[in-house]
Each structure stands twice: as structure tokens, then as C-alpha cells.
């Protein structure tokens, strides 16, 4: 086990035509829209009341709490997104809005540090009595994350102080000591947040509390006892239940919240997917911070289970809407899945934290796969419409009429009653600079290919890397590398698994550098004068097949190009996509679209098979005819950016 | 509109090698097993307590009600099955058991005629206060049906008296008159039962009450008002609800129970499938009895909607487990569907009642399709294992792990907590003699091909038909026809839609008889001396295709032979059925199996496509290889009669 660190903001900034657009969109569209949502300035959307909840808790307004019990987290995610945007570039107006909210939050915080408007307003005597369902620790976690981000951007202490008071309060309430609450959250999030706060403040209590939450989980009957203490009443429907969790009883209720086993003994990703990956993220973080090999081993086992058995080719996870959850190995249906945007964001977190302990391209490969497909696919190009659920196959009529597909929206939505995904995208995109590189002793690791300027402080000195690329649309990456010392340093660059071959040119000369076992090439040099490294990653479009245990994808292929998974849409191929087959031996051609910043479309040859005797009856004798046709595919993340209609990732082959 | 009647038992008896087996199995296996279930003699099954509930209500035992609120109906369905078996052949031991139960039921009936053990035992002051959820009228209906059947078999009046007292009680409680309860049932069933009781007793009040229930339904806010009167509390979870139905809120709660519109204005089959078809059955029955053309028109519209838009090729209906319900036109997924056995039985009822008004082969075709596929498929060959849900595609691993498929049992079950389907099969199979023929003035209609002896009283005299056939295994049907008069009579025989061509030989001479518009051939003769009619229905195996709007079945075909739909099973084709394609142009050969009474298996040519690079990873570059293979298919109704494994009806074609 090694130790690698993420960069600080002053060490890295993105400057990429591809990503600048999305960062701009988050700033110009998503954050202002969310601000208006939170403040109930949008008339054709579900009321949020989130800011008003804080005003009421702060005593500035009269009224009742309204919204989900975790409504506060919408505000925190907005604040975190704002912090992440401000970290890139200060903005007075945005800062003024954020500061105003922080003032209200400060007033809503109780004297002992407690912060949760639902309980402050509605049930002040019920605090911490329903950790399983009531999301207090989840909200606390999101607040702490927002505080770290906002503080990092502005160096204003107020929000960090609120967060520290809250975290200190948690330390007095929770812990192994006698008299303290020995519980842990129903929705994990606080663990990774406490680690971030520890990294920001250096206060070990926070790290210890995070560890306590993880290590206690699944070792006792806490949730059962809590359930008995609250009279076996469910928060959700106020009725008596047989088991602590009422809503997802096709799973063991323990599995749904990942307390079926002590976390170190968990070997299969299970239950609610977002909770799972948030928890694994904290586990990986703590393993790296404490050098806990056993914990890291558990993380690696869970990682492998996800990546080798439970992940969509789009980096989506969570095969069922029922409990927004993992199901079973190889159960990856395309038209009933959930694959929540937030879960893929959580998978990126998990991957990033794994890279703090171990450099292996599996982490960066999957991080990239999730980012360029499901995460980016969760938002349209303009940043004003979203997907919460990310199916791989959609027939709009079947989604509208069938409860198994009812969660699948064939058209991007403005907002959601449970509004986790859009703000989660908004906080993640401006934070991508934190995913490109990690730093070892005298080695800089390049995990992602994004136009950026990095000035990385290694043990012997500073290594500057200016990355220039039109990735993912083109396969060329230029890195201009220079150090401020004569010492030898290493630049380790990921060669993605999808890349069949690669070229490396150093100062114009072809270099034959083998890829190491971990999937990286190592370029060792003193870099004291500028070194220009030009890389070309083979990224011709190709067809991918599934493991045969994914029965849903038998005899089908997905088109990929580099990190991008493609899909066919009705807009380009007409209705009845399932009648199409792609001719596997025919060439796949690239075409630059005149939309979406030079996105690359892929065109192949195929056939459409239609039954001749189709005559308005349900079933008629088989008499199929085939017609030749082109098959046109667009990047999955761009689907439903033009017109509504059918969509399909896995295409039948001939 | 014509008027056709079903036969009486003395007019028809089955003698068929195919059906004798199943009738015997119902008698020797199903009825005794169910008897033991009802009496809690089976230790490895869910306790039933159904007979004990009656004993408690009868004052013979102390205790509480246990089981579903509609647990009584299990006893009634057993009684009806027993009645139907006894009608074929009296059996002292069975009759003694039935009489003993009837004695207890009589004591459990209250003085005013009320009969429902749940309310008698647990909530005597809550009778008729929750018609939506509590199934009192449903149970009453099943009791009445059992009474008609048992009385018909034994001519013992006791059970008919109990039923009449109950029905009389219903007439005093319900109806349009002021002061009466203006409600109607949440689960339809009483309507068709009251019609049967009317036909048995001639008492018009029963017919009128059935009409009242139907004609009032959906015209008022009865269920909303009832919901308010009971404090908006759900029976199921005892908690306050927003809407009368809590459990299936992806549908409008009105649609789920078919009160979204007055029944005559309903044009699309919607909501809970069994409730729907039981209601349509009563509508068709009443339309025929009263000559109500408008009502019959509504029935025909609903029939066409089912048959042309919402029915599986197996005669299954109800595309979703969520509410056991219809979904939308052409939404017929194969691996998440419900297609409850009871719903297909209800579809047979509906078809049979439509034939009372209109002779058209659509009714008998669908009746046959449902019977030989889904209904018969609901029970194994030995009669001791059952399916409640009838999928068209099963991968066992995916059913166990995924909530969307959790209702799909890959292995036949001994019994079910909600035990409607096995007893429903048990009452239907011995009653099949009632589906073969109908009688018009001087015409006998042959709807089904089953070895049987019929002696049908037509207006001019008695027409005897001895049908001999190995159908559905062979395509030859012999009818030896003779009348006891010199008058001309007509024998009208259905030529099924699946039949491409047919031959008719009359006394050994080929006769060229055209099929009429309604799908029947008419053979007019005086039949005064025995006439031997030999028919051959072309029933070569063939492939069927789906309407293109059933996206799930694109590029796929189903193998059919006569009325039978075939499926491929892992037992004959190995694992990974979805890798197989059938070569559409290759011949389909018939092979007689040495199991299941000479069942016919079908063998075709196909290919298996496997990806060469499959190496334990989820996704690898596409490099498919095809292997030639045979494709072996067995009748769908026989699936999972040998070993557990995958099953698939719709097969990819090449």
C-alpha cells in the first residue's frame, strides 16, 4: 500500500473546451436555477421551501417545515456547488447569496451545535431517535461537505465554524463511550464528510467519529433497538411496522442499509446504491489515512464486485428502482434499471479515494466511464434538464404505462421532488480538477485527460504540467511538462483499458514506453527544461460485448469510442429501434456533429427486420423481411438532447 | 344478437385421454391436498386456518380469525371444485367431507343470512363498511358459486338454502332503494355468482342485484364516501391514507378497481386483471340474459381491447405484478409480467359468456389459447405444484435477485399464501364439459375439440355427438353424430384461426364446406342415421411473430402448433437460452415425447452466438462466434415439469 494525495486547488485548474462549457453551464444555468428553486421563485415546479425551513428554524419566519425530511441537504448541495464554482473563480454576487444563506444557517443552528431544520421546527424532542429513516446525519454530512468547499473557496471562517460546532456536537452525542448514542446513520454520508472536515481542520476526533460510525455498523442490533424504542412506528407512514424498514422488504431490511454485516466483512455491493458507495468512499478514505490494510482489502473486494459483476457499461449502478438498489451479480436489465446519477457520482468518489492508496487504472477507468456516460448523461447540454434514472433502453410508451418502468422518464425533467441528482452534478463538475491527478513522493499520476494546468508540489520540487486536448472527441493529448528542480521525477500516465495501442512522442521523437501492470506508463526525467509529451490513444469506434451471464445483452453489442458509450436514438434511426441489427463486420465511421461542441457521431451498417404479415393483430405468422439501413449512434450522455423518442445502448448484431 | 345456451351436465361428459388425466389429477391430487391445506394437515406450508375460521364463527371452537380477509374463499373454491368433480361422478368420501364443511358453514352463517367469518369473528360491527378492500362480496360470490356447483352435483338443498339466505340478505342490504347500501364490491365476483344463482333458482332479484352492482359502479363517489366514513383508514395497514387504495398508486386508484368510468363506458381493459375479467364475465352474462345490446357492445369493445392489444400469445393477461394488473396497449414484457393463472381462467369465463350472445371463433379461439397454455401451465403434470404467475421468459438467477422479477417463481410452488390459483384450476378443469358446446335453436356449436359424449336437446329433438380425438397432440377429430328425429339440424364446428386448412370427411367422403365469416363450418343434415364426420385441422408447427408495437418481441418468433404455444427450456437446450436463434427457414420437426401422455416436442435448427473474448469481465470487445445447434421446444404448459432452469417463449430468429 502506497500513499498518494489529491491535489490542492492551487495546484490544478481546468482549461478545456469540453469541460469549460459544462462548468460554465453549472455556473450560469444550474446554480441560478437551483437558487430559484430553493427560494421558491419557480412557479411551475414542486415547491421547495428549503430556505424557508431555515428561516423558520432561525426564528425569522413563522410556519411549518415543508418537504422531505432531508430537504436541508438541497441547500447544502447548492452551497457546495457554489463553493466549488467560487474556488475556480470568485464571484461577488454568488458569494453574497451564499453568505446570506450561511447567515440563516448559523441562526438555525441550535446553541449546542445541533443543525437540522425538520427536528428543530417539528419534533425538537425527537432528535436522534430515528437514525435509520430521518437523515439527520446525512444532512449534517452534506452541510459539512459544503462548509469545507465554501471555506476552501473563500477562506471565510463562519461556515467552517458552524460545521465544527456541528461536528463537535456529533462527537458529544455519538461514540463508543458509555452514555453516548452508539448508533450510526441510515443513509451514509456523514462518514466521508467527517473525513473531509478532518483533512481541512486536522481535528482527529472527526476522523475517529467517522471510523466509529463505520466500525460499529452491522455489529449490533442498534437499528432494531431504536425501532423498538420508537414504538415500531415508521417515520414515513406513521404506522406500526413489522420490521425497521418498511419500504423495500423484498430485500432484507438490513441489506438495504448495509448493516447486514460488519463493513469489513461485506463482500458484495448490496442495498441502496448511493448509500453503499458513499460508505465505501469513506471506508477507502479512512483506509488510506490510517493505513488500514484490512479495511482497504474490504474496499477492494467491494470494488471488484461492483466493477466485475454489477456495473452497467455506462458506469451506472443500481439495477432496480425498488430501493434504488443493487440486485445480484450480472442482473443488469436495460429497461427497468435505476442507475441513479448520484450513484455514479458516488462511484467516482469511491474510485478517487481508492487512488489515494493504490494506483491502478481500474479506478481511473471506471471514474472516467461513470463521468462521461452516466454522470454527464444526467444533465442535458444546456444544463436545464436532468435525468435521475439512467436507463440503457427506452421505449416511451412502455415507460408511461408500466409500473416497472414508471421511474424511467423518457424526457429529461426540470426538477425532482427528491432533488438529489441535479445538485450532485452541479457540485461534481466544477470539482473535476480534483480527479485528474494524484501525487506520490516524486511521481505525478495522470488519471484523466482534460485540458488543465497543474503545478504539483512533489517531494523534490514542483512539477508543472500543461495538458492540452480535445478529448474525448479526439485522441491526442499534449502534456508540456517542466519542473523547477534538476531532480528526476516521474510522470505516470494512465493508458486506459479501452485503448488498444498508444503512441508517445517526447519532444517530437517516438518513445517506446511499456505499460506497467497497473495500467500506467512511467516517464522518468528531470523535466528541468520543458518536455513536450504528445500522446495518441487509439480510440476507433468499436463494438463491445457483454459477459454471457448478463442474459439481457446476449447477441447484442454496444458501440464505444474511447471512454464514451454510444446509443441509438429514434431521432436518427426512426421508431422501433429493437427491429434494428448492426452488421458487426461493417466499418464504423465517425462524423463530427454540428451540435454539442463538435461531438462525434458514429455511423455503421445495419438491417431492419419487420414482419410482413403485421396487420394490426397481436400475433401473425412469421414472415420477416430485412431492409438495409444505416445505424447512427450518438454519445449516450447526449441522449434526449434533441427530440424525445426511443433509445437503446445494446444493439442486436448480425 | 342471438341467444345460445350452455349445456347441462346431463347433456355432456368428457371422455378424453388428454383431459381424463387432468380431471383424475384434480380428484386424486389437488382436491385432497387442498383439503389438507384447509385443515392445516400440511406441516411444511403456510398455515391456512380456513376451516378453523368457520368453526370459530360457528361457535364450535374458540380463537381468532387467521389468514387473508378473503380466506373463506379458499374453502368455497374447494367446495366448488369438489362439486364439479362430484358432478362427473359421485364419490361418497368426498361428499362426506364436503357435507361436513357445509354443516359448519351453515352454523357460521348468521341469523340474517350474513356469512363472512372474518367479520363475524373479528369485527361484527364493521360489516359492509369497507367494500373496497374487505372482499365480503367476493367471498359471498365464491360461496354462491360453490353452492350452485355442489347442489347441481348432489341435488342436496342445504347448501343452496344457505346461498339463498345469503343472497336474500344481500338483496335486503344492497340496492338502489332508499335506506339501502348503494355500494358495490372492490373485488368483483358476486355479480357473476348472482347470475349463476339466478339461473339455478329462477329468482329475478338475484339477477337484478347483479345488474345493480354493475350499473352503479363508477357512476358515483361511493368508494370515496365509504373511505371518508371509515376515517380514511386502510384496512391493510390500519393507517390513514390519502386515497382509498393505498397499494397500487401508480395507477389511478379508480382504475385499479374498474370504477373509473361507468362499466358501459369502459373501452380499455384496465386495473387488476382478475377483477376486470370477472366483471366483464358478469356483464356478458347479463347482456345475454337481458338482451342488452349496449352492454354487449361494451363487452365486445373490452374483449377486442384485450385480444388485440393486451394479451400474451399464451392467453395470459396482466402485464405487471404491481396491482396484478393490465398496463397499456402493446406493453407485454416477457420477463416481468404477471399473467396470473386466475386471470386466464377469468378470460375463459368471459369468452364462454360472450358465446351465449354471439357465435364467433374469437371467443373459442382465445378460450382455447388461455386453457391450453396459461391455465394448464398453472399446474404441473402431476397436479402437485403450481404457478400463480406465468412469465414467458425466465432466467432463474435474475428472478431471485431482482424485485421486478421477484414475483416470478422459476420453480413451481406447492402452495401460495394468497391461494387463489390452484383451487381456481381445480374448479375449472372438471367443469370443461361446459365449454365444449353451446346450443342454438336447432344448431349445436362445437367450440372445443375434446373427447366427449354430448346429447344435446335442440328444439326439434336430441342431437348426439360422440367426439373422439387425441387433440391437441394430433389433428384428427372424429364426430359420430346422430339425432332422434328426422328434422334437419345443424352442426357448426369451429375452424380455429390458427388452422391454415382443414379437411372434412362425411361418412368417408370428402366434403367441401366453406368456413363462414364467424369462423365456423355448418354441416346441415337430418342426422337421423349415424353420420361420421372426420376432421383434420392443419396443425403443423410454425413460427408466429408479434405486432411491431410489442417492442419486446422484435426480431423474435414463437413456435406454435395448433392451440399450443411452445417454449425452449434449459433442460433441452442448455443454459443461456438468449444466445440462441432459430433459423426461420429450417423445418420444424415433431417428436413424440415418452413423457406427459405422448406430448409432442418440436425440433428446429438454430445457432448459438457466444462472444469469444468472454473472460470473466463484464464487457469485452465484440468477437462473436456462432455454432449450429438444434432448438428443442416443449409445450409451454409443460414447462418446469422436468428440471428447473431457464425458459423462453419468444426466440430470436435468423
A567 lies in a domain?
yes
| Residue B443 neighbours by CB under 8 Å, 6+ apart | B458, B489, B490, B491, B492, B522
Q: Give per-residue pLDDT as tens, B61-113.
A: 999 999 999 999 999 999 999 999 999 999 999 999 999 999 999 999 999 99
Q: Which three cell numbers stand for residue A200?
A: 481541512
Q: Is B606 helix (H, G, I), strand (E, B) or coil?
A: strand
Name the domain boundary from A504, A537, A570: A537
**Residue A531 and residue A597 in one domain:** no
Question: Residues near A612 by Cβ (< 8 Å), separated by ≥ 6?
Answer: A623, A624, A625
Phi, psi (degrees; rounded to nearest 5) at B590: -95, 140
Q: Is B572 in the same domain as B625?
A: yes
Residue A149 maps to a domain: no
Q: Which of B482, B513, B537 is the last residue of a domain?
A: B537
- pLDDT for res A252: 81
B619 occurs within a structural domain: yes
Report residue A314 as a C-alpha cell: 455506462
The pLDDT of residue A1 is above 70 = no
Q: Residue A488: name the closest of A461, A518, A521 by CA.
A: A461
Specify if B6 maps to a domain.
no
pLDDT at residue B247, as a whole number? 61
Give the residue-averaged pLDDT of B164-179.
97
CA angle A399, A400, A404 (to 5 degrees): 50
Model confidence band, residue B480 (pLDDT cutoffs 50, 70, 90): very high
Residue pair A569/A651 in contact by the 8 Å Cβ criterion = no
- Would B566 be classed as within a structural domain? yes
A605 and A521 in a single domain? The answer is no
Cα–Cα nearest to B84, from B434, B596, B374, B484: B434
Phi, psi of B393 (to 5 degrees): -155, 130
Same domain flag for A547 and A463: no
Beta-carbon-side half-sphere exposure of residue B251 (alpha carbons within 13 Å): 27
Query: What phi and psi, each to the nearest 5 degrees, are found at residue B254?
Result: -75, -35
Give B-chain residues touching A307 at CB under 8 angstroms: 618
Q: Which of B493, B516, B537 is the last residue of a domain?
A: B537
State how far the Cα of B19 lies from the Cα of B428, in Å rounded to an integer: 12
The one catalytic residue in B136, B145, B226, B324 is: B324
B623: closest chain A residue by CA: A545
**DSSP assignment letter at B377:** H
Lowest mean pLDDT among A204-213, A625-634, B253-262, B409-418: B409-418
Q: Find the length of chain A.
A: 654
pLDDT of residue B414: 81
Share of chain A above pLDDT 70, in %: 98
Is residue B153 within 8 A of residue B86, CB to CB? The reply is yes
Q: How far is CA B171 from the centre of its chain?
A: 28
Among candidates A614, A398, A618, which has minimal Cα distance to B306?
A618
A619 lies in the same domain as A636: yes
d(CA A533, CA A523): 10
B456 phi and psi angles, rounded to 5 deg: -100, 125
What is the reported pLDDT for A506? 97
Distance from CA of A167 to the nearest CA of B (A): 37
CB atoms within 10 A of CB A202: 9
Q: Decide the pairing of beta strands B542-546 and A489-494.
A: unpaired
The closest CB to that of A547, out of B322, B550, B617, belongs to: B617
Q: Which three cell numbers stand for residue A600?
A: 462525434
Neighbouring C-beta atoms of residue A429, cutoff 10 Å: 26
Does the beta carbon of B402 lie under 8 angstroms from any beta carbon of chain A?
yes
| Bridge pairing between strands A580-582 and A651-653 | parallel
- Cβ burial of A100 (10 Å; 0-12, 13-18, 19+) is exposed
Residue A85 resides in a domain: no
Average pLDDT over residues B188-206: 98
Look at residue A249 and tell me whether its pLDDT is greater than 60.
no
Q: Is the distance from CB of A228 to CB of A178 less than 8 angstroms?
A: no
Report if residue B608 sits inside a domain. yes
Distances (CA, A) of A567 to A393, A584, B305, B610: 9, 15, 34, 22
Q: Are the beta carbons of B545 and A624 separated by less than 8 Å?
A: yes
**Chain B neighbors of A576, CB-CB under 8 A:** 548, 551, 554
Asked if B622 lies within 8 A of A250 by C-beta distance, the reply is no
User: Over the stretch B105-154, which tens digit does the pLDDT of each residue have?
Assistant: 999 999 999 999 999 999 999 999 999 999 999 999 999 999 999 999 99
Beta carbons within 8 Å of A318's beta carbon, 6+ residues apart: A272, A273, A274, A324, A325, A326, A337, A338, A339, A340, A343
> To the nearest whole number, what is the mean pLDDT of chain A?
95
Model pLDDT, residue B44: 75
Position B614 pLDDT exceeds 80: no
Whether B609 and chain A come into contact, CB under 8 Å, resolves to yes
CATH number of the domain residue B492 falls in: 2.60.40
Q: Is some CB atom of chain B closer than 8 A to the CB atom of A316? A: no
Measure the CA angle with vertex A267, ends A261 and A270; round to 5°. Answer: 70
For chain B, what percent of residues have pLDDT higher than 70? 98
- Whether residue B545 lies within 8 A of chain A, CB to CB, comes out as yes
What pLDDT sits at residue A367? 98
Residues contacting residue A149 through CB under 8 Å, at least 6 positions apart: A79, A80, A83, A84, A87, A427, A431
Supply the pLDDT for residue A244: 87
List the catalytic residue out of B171, B420, B421, B567: B420
For residues B459 and B441, the answer to whether their CB atoms sit within 8 Å is yes
Tally of structural domains, chain B: 2
Burial class (CB in 10 A: 0-12, 13-18, 19+), A141: buried
Indicate whether B465 and B550 sit together in one domain. no
Pairing of strands B651-653, B580-582: parallel
What is the spatial distance between Cα B645 and Cα B410, in angstroms, rounded to a whole number? 7
Supply φ then ψ for residue A164, to 5 degrees. -65, -40
Quote the CA–CA distance of B596 and B598 in Å, as a whole number.
Answer: 6
Q: Which of A547, A554, A576 sits opposite B548 (nearest CB)?
A: A576
Same domain, residue pair B505 and B559: no
Mean pLDDT of A303-311: 97
C-alpha cell at B18: 388428454
Decide if B544 and A619 are in contact by the 8 Å CB cutoff: yes
3-state helix, strand and coil shares in percent for chain A, rounded to the nearest 5 = 40, 20, 40
A566 and A529 share one domain: no
Residues B504 and B596 in one domain: no
> Is A417's pLDDT higher than 90?
no
Q: Which are the contacts of A364, defined by CB distance < 8 A and separation ≥ 6?
A: A351, A355, A447, A448, A494, A496
State how far Cα A145 lies from the chain centre.
Answer: 15
Q: Which helix (H) or strand (E) holds B437?
A: strand B437-439
Verify whether the Cβ–Cβ distance A328 to B623 is below 8 Å: no
Residues paired with A135 in a beta bridge:
none
DSSP class of B413 = B
Size of interface A-B (CB pairs under 8 A): 202
Residue A250 pLDDT? 65
**Beta-carbon contacts of residue A40 (< 8 Å; ≥ 6 apart):** A47, A48, A49, A51, A52
Task: Please report which residue ranges of B127-189 form alpha helices under DSSP H.
Answer: 136-154, 157-173
Given this model, what pLDDT does residue B421 score?
Answer: 83
> Three-state SS for A483?
strand
Q: What is the pLDDT of residue A376?
A: 97
Question: Binning pLDDT at 50, 70 and 90, where does residue A248 land?
Answer: low
User: Is A410 a residue whose pLDDT tops 60?
Assistant: yes
Nearest C-alpha neighbor of A65 from the set A128, A134, A163? A134
Q: Which residues of chain B does A240 touch, with a Cβ-Cβ cutoff of 8 Å? A: 238
Range in A600-604, A631-635, B421-425, B535-539 with the lowest mean pLDDT: B421-425
Task: Give pLDDT tens digits for A153-181.
Answer: 999 999 999 999 999 999 999 999 999 99
Q: Give the closest residue to B87 by CA, choosing from B163, B23, B40.
A: B23
How far is residue B634's CA from residue B645's CA, in Å, rounded to a whole number? Answer: 14
pLDDT at A585 over 90: yes
Summarised one tens digit per residue, pLDDT across range A275-286 is 999 999 999 999
Please indicate whether residue A507 or residue A239 has the higher confidence score (pLDDT): A507
Confirm or reject contact between B527 and chain A (CB < 8 A): no
Q: Helix, strand, or coil here: A602?
A: strand
C-alpha to C-alpha distance for B600 and B586, rounded to whole angstroms? 18
| Residue B250 contacts A, CB cutoff 8 Å | yes
pLDDT at B46 over 80: no
Evaluate the CA torsion angle A118, A124, A127, A130 in order and state its sign: negative
B-facing residues of A in 578-607 (CB < 8 A) are 578-579, 581, 584
Does a structural domain hold residue A198? no
Q: Do A402 and B319 touch (CB under 8 A)?
A: yes
In the residue annotation, B420 being an active-site residue is answered as yes
Q: What are the E-state strand segments in B375-423? A: 393-394
CB B444 within 8 A of CB B491: yes
- Can B499 be counted among the known catalytic residues? no
pLDDT one-digit tens code per residue, B345-367? 999 999 999 999 999 999 999 99
Is the same domain home to B471 and B564? no
The answer, yes or no, to whether residue A415 has pLDDT greater than 90, is no
Specify which residues A193 forms β-bridges with: none
Q: Which domain holds residue A450?
A: 435-537
pLDDT in tens, B568-608: 999 999 999 999 999 999 999 999 999 999 999 999 999 99
Q: Has residue B249 got a pLDDT over 90?
A: no
Q: Do B646 and B546 fall within a single domain?
A: yes
pLDDT digits (tens, 9 = 90+) for A450-503: 999 999 999 999 999 999 999 999 999 999 999 999 999 999 999 999 998 999
Nearest to B624 by CA among A280, A128, A554, A628: A554
Q: Is A2's pLDDT higher than 80?
A: no
- Assess contact for B298 and B309: CB atoms under 8 A: no
DSSP per-residue string spanning A195-248: HHHHHHH--HHHHHHHHHHHHHTTSS-HHHHHHHHTTTB-TTT-SB-SSS--TT
Over residues A583-608, the mean pLDDT reads 96
Whether A533 and A550 share a structural domain: no
Q: Is A203's Cβ below 8 Å from some Cβ in B?
A: no
Amino acid at each position: 500500500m502506497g500513499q498518494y494525495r489529491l491535489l490542492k486547488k492551487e495546484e490544478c485548474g481546468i482549461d478545456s473546451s469540453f469541460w469549460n462549457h459544462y462548468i460554465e453551464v453549472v455556473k450560469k444555468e444550474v446554480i441560478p436555477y437551483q437558487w430559484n428553486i430553493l427560494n421558491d421563485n419557480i412557479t411551475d415546479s414542486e415547491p421547495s421551501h428549503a430556505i424557508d425551513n431555515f428561516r423558520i428554524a432561525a426564528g425569522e419566519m413563522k410556519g411549518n417545515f415543508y418537504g422531505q425530511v432531508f430537504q436541508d441537504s438541497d441547500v447544502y448541495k447548492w452551497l457546495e456547488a457554489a463553493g466549488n464554482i467560487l474556488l475556480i473563480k470568485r464571484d461577488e454576487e454568488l458569494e453574497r447569496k451564499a453568505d446570506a444563506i450561511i447567515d440563516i444557517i448559523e441562526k438555525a443552528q441550535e446553541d449546542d451545535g445541533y443543525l437540522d431544520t425538520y427536528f428543530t421546527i417539528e419534533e425538537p424532542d425527537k432528535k436522534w431517535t430515528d437514525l435509520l429513516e430521518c437523515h439527520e446525519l446525512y444532512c449534517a454530512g452534506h452541510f459539512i461537505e459544503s462548509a469545507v468547499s465554501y471555506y476552501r473557496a473563500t477562506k471565510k471562517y463562519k461556515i467552517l465554524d458552524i460545521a465544527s460546532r456541528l461536528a463537535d456536537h456529533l462527537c458529544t452525542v455519538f461514540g463508543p463511550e458509555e452514555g453516548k448514542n452508539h448508533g450510526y446513520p441510515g443513509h451514509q454520508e456523514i462518514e466521508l464528510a467527517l473525513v473531509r472536515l478532518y483533512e481541512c481542520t486536522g481535528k482527529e476526533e472527526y476522523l475517529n467519529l467517522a471510523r466509529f460510525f463505520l466500525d460499529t455498523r452491522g455489529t449490533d442490533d442498534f437499528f432494531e433497538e431504536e425501532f423498538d424504542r420508537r414504538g415500531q412506528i415508521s417515520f414515513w407512514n406513521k404506522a406500526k411496522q413489522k420490521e425497521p424498514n418498511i419500504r423495500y422488504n423484498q430485500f432484507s431490511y438490513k441489506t438495504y442499509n448495509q448493516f447486514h454485516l460488519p463493513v469489513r466483512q461485506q463482500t458484495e455491493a448490496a442495498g441502496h446504491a448511493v448509500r453503499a458507495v458513499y460508505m465505501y468512499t469513506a471506508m477507502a478514505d479512512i483506509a488510506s489515512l490510517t493505513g488500514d490494510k484490512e479495511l482497504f482489502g474490504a474496499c477492494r473486494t467491494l470494488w471488484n464486485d461492483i466493477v466485475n459483476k454489477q456495473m452497467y457499461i455506462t458506469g451506472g449502478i443500481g439495477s432496480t428502482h425498488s430501493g434504488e438498489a443493487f440486485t445480484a451479480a450480472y442482473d443488469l436489465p436495460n429497461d427497468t434499471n435505476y442507475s441513479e446519477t448520484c450513484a455514479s457520482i458516488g462511484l467516482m468518489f469511491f474510485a478517487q479515494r481508492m487512488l489515494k492508496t493504490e494506483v491502478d487504472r481500474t479506478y481511473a477507468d471506471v471514474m472516467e466511464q461513470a463521468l462521461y456516460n452516466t454522470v454527464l448523461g444526467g444533465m442535458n447540454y444546456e444544463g436545464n434538464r436532468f435525468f435521475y434514472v439512467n436507463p440503457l433502453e427506452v421505449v416511451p410508451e412502455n415507460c408511461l404505462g408500466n409500473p416497472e418502468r414508471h421511474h424511467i422518464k423518457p424526457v429529461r425533467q426540470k426538477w425532482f421532488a427528491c432533488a438529489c441528482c441535479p445538485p450532485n452534478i452541479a457540485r461534481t463538475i466544477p470539482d473535476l480538477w480534483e480527479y485528474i491527478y494524484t501525487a506520490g513522493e516524486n511521481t505525478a499520476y495522470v488519471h484523466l485527460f482534460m485540458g488543465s494546468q497543474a503545478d504539483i508540489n512533489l517531494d523534490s520540487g514542483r512539477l508543472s504540467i500543461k495538458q492540452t486536448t480535445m478529448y474525448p472527441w479526439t485522441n491526442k493529448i499534449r502534456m508540456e511538462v517542466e519542473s523547477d528542480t534538476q531532480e528526476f521525477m516521474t510522470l505516470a500516465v494512465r493508458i486506459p483499458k479501452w485503448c488498444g495501442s498508444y503512441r508517445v512522442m517526447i519532444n517530437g521523437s517516438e518513445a517506446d514506453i511499456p505499460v506497467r501492470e497497473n495500467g500506467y506508463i512511467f516517464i522518468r526525467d528531470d523535466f528541468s527544461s520543458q518536455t513536450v509529451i504528445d500522446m495518441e490513444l487509439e480510440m476507433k469506434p468499436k463494438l463491445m460485448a457483454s459477459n454471457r451471464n448478463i442474459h439481457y445483452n446476449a447477441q447484442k453489442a454496444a458501440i464505444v469510442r474511447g471512454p464514451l458509450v454510444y446509443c441509438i436514438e429514434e431521432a436518427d434511426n426512426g421508431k422501433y429501434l429493437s427491429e434494428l441489427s448492426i452488421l458487426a463486420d461493417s466499418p464504423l465511421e465517425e462524423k463530427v456533429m454540428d451540435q454539442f461542441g463538435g461531438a462525434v457521431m458514429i455511423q455503421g451498417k445495419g438491417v431492419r427486420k419487420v414482419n410482413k404479415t403485421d396487420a394490426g393483430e397481436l400475433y401473425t405468422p412469421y414472415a420477416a423481411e430485412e431492409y438495409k439501413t444505416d445505424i447512427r449512434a450518438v454519445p449516450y450522455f447526449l441522449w434526449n438532447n434533441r427530440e424525445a423518442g426511443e433509445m437503446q445502448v445494446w444493439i442486436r448484431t448480425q
